[in-house]
Each structure stands twice: as C-alpha cells, then as structure tokens.
A and B are shown apart, each in its own frame.
Chain A
C-alpha cells in the first residue's frame, strides 16, 4: 500500500523567505516521487520528480527537493519565495503501474 502525507495544509511565507513544503510517503517498494503545482482554475504542472540517481532534484522556477530514504521524505524547497509562487502544491508517489497517489495538498501563500 502506498500513501502520501503533506504536513501543513496551509503555509504562509514572506516574499524572499525560504519555502519549505513537507512530504512523507509510505511505499512497500522503491518509489517514484513527484511534486506538482496547481494555479487557480488550471491543471497540474510538474515541478520536479525523483526516479533514481541523485537524491537532490532540481526543478522549474527555482524549486528543488531531496529524497531521503531513511526518513521516507521528499520535501520541496525554494530559497526565496516570489509572489508568483502562491499556488496549491501536491506531492505524489508511484511505484509500479500507472496509478498516482496524491497527498492532500499544501496551499502556499506569499505575503508581500
């Protein structure tokens, strides 16, 4: 069985501050991990993904995430928040097959 937990359904940061969105997963096999962003009334856009190899993954818009197997975590970070980062963020996991398991999402607010 697989599941994804995103701690904090709402996160607020000041513009220019560090963004940290947390994601923990449970999976019986090595997982493939994804972060998606969703702006209002739009579809989901891939930010980054981890499959194999380097555990620090860089994505679009300055985001990065680190796969930590010992902690079963895949937290998303960005050194300096921008107003345009305000959106809903979803962590997702896959192992075998085509099915994604999504976390419940984190709504990011950026305060000017």
Chain B
C-alpha cells in the first residue's frame, strides 16, 4: 500500500476561521512533509517531521501550525489565514534515506475568502 490520504479534499474558510488539514499514511514511513503549491508552480516545502519531531520549518508564518500526533498522522492547523494562502496543500511521506521516494497525497484545495 503506497497511499497517503488527505482530508478534506476541498476547504473554504474565512480569514477569522480556525480549521485543520489532516494527512495519514500506513506505510511505516518516519518522515512526513507539508507542501504548499500554487497553480502551475512546483510544491514549496513548508514543514518536515522526522520521527514525529519537527526537523525543518521553512520560515512559514505562525498562522500555519503543524502537528504530528503519531507516526501515521500529520495535521496542519490553520488560523487567521490570508487570501494569498489559497493553494493546494500537499502532504507526503517517505522513509528516512535520501534515495527513498516521497509519496504524495492528493492534496487539499484551500480557498481563503
């Protein structure tokens, strides 16, 4: 099974709302990632968790708050977002070795009004 699942598929929120994105994998991967992707652009790395600890934070605004409750789950908590935060949010997972493939979920399409 090489599946990464993400919920919800679509999310529309106002700038004062609080919402969360969820990602799950059951491949035993110990590294999990959040990416932000704008249309026709490559994914931009936001956060990396390694063995459930935050290892990379690419200077992401604090209105994005990641959480890794266990080795299979990754959340992204959203609060007070801006319209420019509207994008496709992708989750990925991999083993720890550099040669290992990152497996991507289908993404959550976020629209901030």
Contact = CB atoms under 8 A, between A and B. Distances in A.
Same assembly? yes
B91 to A, nearest CB: 8
A90 B42 contact: yes
B16 interface: no
A45 B102 CA distance: 9
A74 interface: no
Q: How big is chain A's contact interface, by range?
A: 20 to 34
B43 A102 contact: yes
Contacts of B107: 41-43
Given A42-B107, A88-B40, A98 B101 contact: no
B42 A103 contact: yes
Size category, B interface: 20 to 34
Contacts of A100: 45, 102
Contacts of B43: 44, 90, 102
A51 interface: yes
Chain B CB count within 10 A is highest, among A45, A90, A102, for A102
Contacts of A52: 99
A42 B88 CA distance: 9
The 3 nearest A-B residue pairs measured at CB: A102-B42, A43-B104, A51-B99
Given A43-B90, A43-B106, 15 more contacts: A34-B101, A36-B104, A41-B88, A41-B107, A41-B109, A43-B6, A44-B90, A45-B104, A96-B98, A98-B50, A98-B55, A98-B56, A99-B45, A99-B48, A104-B41
